[in-house]
Amino acid sequence: MAEENDIFDLIIIGSGPGGYYSALRAAQYGAKVALVEKQNLGGTCSNWGCIPTKALYASAKMLEDMKEKAELAGVKCEGNIVADFSAAANRKNEVVKALVDGIAGLLKTRKIPLYWGTGKVEGGSIDSSFDVSVTGKDGNKVHIKGKRVIIATGSTPALIPAFNIDHKKILTSDDILHPDFKSLPKSMIIIGGGVIGCEFANIFARFGVKITILEYLDTILATEEQPIIRELKKKFESIGIDIFTSQNVLKVEATEAGVKATTVPATTPKDMIDATEKTIYEAEMCLVSIGRAKVSQNLGLEQLGVKIEKGQILINQDTCETNKKGVYAIGDVTGVFMLAHVASHQGDIAVANALASIGGFNVKPRFANYNIIPYTIFTSPNIGSVGLREKAAKDKRGAINVGRFFYASLGKAKCMGEEDGFMMVIADASTDEILGATCIGAEAPELISEITVAMHHEITAHELGEVVHSHPTISEMVLETVEDVHGMAIHKVGRRK
């Protein structure tokens, strides 16, 4: 730990994918950094989000492959295949621990002190330094000073009073991913058909849970292309997932047998709700996955004059600096693309700009780039996307070309038994600039990464089609799809549509 009179170059409050990343990056530049964390090192992503869900997804995918594809591969599974969720949960916990221990090791190697407790900016300015207090669980308080501050406090599951979340039968995603959650119900209602809801629906259905999704909008995954949604719905329905869209969930109640959700059609006017016939859905358990609340309170920011709107810390999105000079914010708490990899990107930007403003470091000011952000959804099949959707591309650019290619026509996909899904790439008809891409199928998130790199470096569809791709690989999906932008896909029968 630092001496009381020491002044850090940078104090970072929050150790999630934005916070710990920022601390390590700043240390690489030679800065003296302090990291503050009130709960778990690694934040939501490592402990209750990205990592544990993907560990459970891997177990669910293995179960899916054994049940549906083993025989295709000439592997005979004698007797019943038993799904042991408790064992899968234990493995998930081990994965989380290993990664969190890895983060701790990196911080130690970089000599970054970790202050455990609730951080609060007590005062200060860019002209002197900022005073940050850290109050531990025992109530003891320490004060540290820093030339610049980065707020990376993230978000937490939104708690809606009408849903009566009791953390026993009516749960949040944090509850579902708690290390002690090791027993699944026979049935579950999932409120919210967004990314979180669909990922959990896929996992638990594979483990034999009867899933019912209740979604307020008229479709699940509302931001995705309609063909992608249709493909996923077809798969979900094939494994027994019931999807009810346009449902306004009025309340959720715990009952002796489990839970009960009461709904009316989402189109029902508010003054007609009482008189409208209700629909009741029942299950043993309910997962509420309809949004996250930014953690921006009790950080001393209001007293400092930092602008906060609806819980969201307002920043200059280019520089990640707040209206209070010397105070930066990154990640979910800013409300700008609530994705772990965006938090890390913003961390890069905030660190560069903070240290450049201090001077004496080999770093220049940087601007964030939100134009080419990849999205990934780990359902089965996987979904990946980047850039503009087809309608948005037409509205923005006018004439476009769209290439499409299907996994069923790819040799490696056939070998793997992964023939469901397709990829589409959208390009400007005049310039051939790649405007966006989306994919549903095996390794879709990995394939989208290649398109993301191409878009970042302004590689055209034709130029990407000239790149030699190893055969046989799933990466040939990219090759065939960009070739189809110009109607030149080798393994596609018929004209480009």
Best CA proximity match to 435, nearest among 396, 469, 404: 396
3-state secondary structure of 346: helix
> CB of 482 within 8 A of CB of 437?
no
The residue type at 315: I
d(CA 107, CA 33): 10
Q: Are the C-beta atoms of 232 and 193 separated by less than 8 Å?
A: no
For 31, half-sphere exposure in the C-beta direction (CA atoms, 13 angstrom radius) is: 32
Could you give the CA distance from residue 370 to residue 367 in angstroms, rounded to a whole number? Answer: 10
C-alpha–C-alpha distance, residues 144 and 12, integer Å:
11
Which one of the listed residues 167, 456, 457, 471 is annotated catalytic? 471
Tell me how far apart the alpha carbons of residues 337 and 95 are, in angstroms, rounded to a whole number.
26
Give me the residues paired with residue 146 across strands. Answer: 8, 130
Residues facing residue 141 across a β-bridge: 135
Q: Which candidate, 295, 293, 316, 492, places its Cα nearest to that of 404?
A: 492
Q: Which residue(s) pair with 286 in the sheet?
A: 170, 189
**Cα–Cα distances in angstroms (integers) from residue 295 to residues 212, 360, 484, in the given order:** 30, 33, 45
Sheet arrangement for strand 279-283: 247-254, 259-265, 279-283
Residue 341: active-site member: no
Please report how the helices 19-28 and 85-109 are oriented relative to each other, as an axis angle in degrees rounded to 10.
30
8 Å CB contact between 132 and 145: yes
Cβ contact 234:207 at 8 Å: no
Q: Which is it for strands 187-191 and 7-13: parallel, antiparallel or unpaired?
A: unpaired
List, by residue number, the catalytic residues. 471
